[in-house]
Chains A and B, each alone.
Chain A
Amino acid sequence: EPEVTQTPSHQVTQMGQEVILRCVPISNHLYFYWYRQILGQKVEFLVSFYNNEISEKSEIFDDQFSVERPDGSNFTLKIRSTKLEDSAMYFCASKLDRNTGELFFGEGSRLTVL
């Protein structure tokens, strides 16, 4: 069964460092998302991406964040200068098309900022 894959599964970084989280969405999906979940809390929307551009972003997704689809398969989330409060589980998700409702999530990347 096709799945969304994310790397790394866990990354520990120092405050102020840049982090790149990588995702490979399901191959024929057109919509891509990043969500964040601070331990034990709700799943928070960060950004959605369609047709090689950001469709929507939340207040969390400030200038420190960026997304990119550098090739036909990868979808990356970059945090330019990490803060302690960026520590969370980051989930990538993808969706087939506009009419499809189902969102497929990856297993997540746990980011720990020290």
Chain B
Amino acid sequence: QQQVKQSPQSLIVQKGGISIINCAYENTAFDYFPWYQQFPGKGPALLIAIRPDVSEKKEGRFTISFNKSAKQFSLHIMDSQPGDSATYFCAARDNYGQNFVFGPGTRLSVLP
């Protein structure tokens, strides 16, 4: 129940295209859903996050869509750039324990 599922495992997108990564969870105690971006050799860095009381959050080219009833959320990267090439992790926070559970990651490659 603590698991967060993520797909696809890897994604190749042409420059200017839309990258879409999907996540799903089971635990209804999760109350905060961040996306992290990780470049090789670096720690994960927060990209964008959403709370379950909203269905969408947009920051620049990055949008989170959240479906509370389906327990699913997704990251959309519009106008994808080669600099977006990284591994993306969705995560969920357990409000009770304050623990963060991470999805297995999606390796995104944006071709020039």
Contact = CB atoms under 8 A, between A and B. Distances in A.
A68 interface: no
Interface in A56-114: 56, 91, 93, 95, 98, 101-108
A41 to B, nearest CB: 7
B102 A44 contact: yes
A70 to B, nearest CB: 22
B103 to A, nearest CB: 7
Interface string A26-66: 00000101010000011111001010000110000000000
Interface residues of B, number: 23
B104 A31 contact: no
**Do most interface residues of chain A lie in helix, strand or loop, or is the interface mixed?**
strand
B44 A91 contact: yes
Contacts of A101: 32, 34, 49, 51, 93
Given A43-B44, A101-B34, A103-B46, A95 B98 contact: yes
Contact of B43 (A42, A55, A91): A91
Nearest to A110: B41
Q: Name, among A31, A56, A93, A101, the residue most crowded by chain B CB atoms within 10 Å (CB to CB).
A: A101
Contacts of B51: 101
Interface of B: 32, 34, 36, 41-46, 49, 51, 89, 91, 93, 97-105
